Amino acid sequence: MSGIRIEHHLDRNRLDELGVEGWPIWSCEVSTFPWTYDETETCYMRPLHIMTDQF
């Protein structure tokens, strides 16, 4: 199983390199579900409140 790559404090050049402005915004209602990755994912967390639990 792969995972999520974490990069902190990205500057505008890195965001442009990744093409973040063209990424879709993922959202869902409050839910619980198993989460696995077949390959390494890259995600961008916009400044907002995110609450997760690990089971």
Q: Which H or E run contains 5?
A: strand 4-5
pLDDT at residue number 52: 59
**Residue 29: what residue type?**
E
Q: Which residues contact 9 (CB under 8 A, 6 or more apart)?
A: none
pLDDT at residue number 3: 72
Count of other CB atoms within 10 angstroms of residue 20 = 15
pLDDT at residue number 13: 94
User: Could you report the per-residue pLDDT of 8-54, keeping only the tens digit for each?
Assistant: 888 899 989 989 888 887 777 877 877 777 887 777 776 665 565 65
Q: Which H or E run contains 42?
A: strand 41-42
- Rounded to the nearest angstrom, the gap between the alpha carbon of residue 45 and the centroid of all alpha carbons in its chain is 6
pLDDT at residue number 35: 73
| Residue 55 clears pLDDT 60, i.e. is over it | no
